[in-house]
Amino acid sequence: MTDTPNLDDAHFKPVDPQSLVPAGRSTHPPRILMIYGSLRERSYSRLSAEEGARILERLGAEVKFYDPAGLPLVDDAADASHPKVDELRQLVIWCEGMVWSSPERHGAMTGVMKSQIDWIPLSLGGVRPTQGKTLAVMQVSGGSQSFNTVNQLRILGRWMRLLTIPNQSSIARAWDEFDDEGRMRPSSFYNRLVDVMEELYRFTLLTRDIKDVLVDRYSERVESHAELSKRVNQSKRG
């Protein structure tokens, strides 16, 4: 079963268990970015993200929010130089983990949520800004509990090469779960939200110093070598 003629041994390397233990651990607070998917004044996706932020800060994280108001649609005569696009991308570069919180509308995430994710590039100046970072997904619904949106966010998280944690939050009848001050009432939904934030915090601490090792890929090592060889050969011909 060890006959692997298609493997390029020059780029295939055994996994060294020691590489999964960082030589030194970062001591700064984990940096978490909160993204929410509604522009409403009383936005339950924002309110639930704010509750999550309070838990994360109690745990010791540094938390920042991105306000999607004013973000243009992708391909709508705007580019990365737009101030709201640049702000979003700089926050994504800054963070070590993210929380995506979206309402469910017509059985799916909102356009506001998807637009923000669409403006986050897979590669930026030779750097993959999301690769290996942690992600927690949450959704709020006006009716019965659903998981359509968190499932879609998980697909996007995988596409963006994020380490999406196993736990998730789905708040049903969100209008009844928050008081007049915008604070979440005690409930099983609130307890689950705390679970999610605890798990995100732990996973971020666990992986942030070894994320490059976790996402080191054989296919990319082979491709990078092939591209380098192609450039060298072109240079020699020139």
2 in a domain, yes or no? Answer: no
Has residue 158 been placed in a domain?
yes
Per-residue pLDDT, 116: 96
- Which CATH number do you get for residue 133? 3.40.50.360
Predicted local confidence at residue 126, as pLDDT: 67
pLDDT digits (tens, 9 = 90+) for 77-125: 788 899 999 999 999 999 999 999 999 999 999 999 999 999 998 887 7
Query: Domain of 137?
Result: 26-237
Is position 66 within any domain?
yes
> Would residue 128 count as lying in a domain?
yes
Residue 14 located in a structural domain: no
Q: Do 167 and 196 contact (CB within 8 A), yes or no? A: yes
- Distance, CA of 64 to CA of 111 (rounded, Å): 22
Q: Is residue 7 in some structural domain?
A: no
Distance from C-alpha of 46 to C-alpha of 24, rounded to nearest angstrom: 35
* Domain-located, residue 91: yes
Alpha-helical segments (H) within the chain: 44-59, 83-94, 111-118, 148-159, 188-207, 211-214, 218-237
Identify the band that residue 144 occupies on the pLDDT scale cut at 50, 70 and 90. Answer: confident
Confirm whether 51 is domain-assigned. Answer: yes
Pairing relation of β-strands 97-105 and 108-109?
antiparallel
**pLDDT for res 236:** 55
Give the chain's domain count.
1
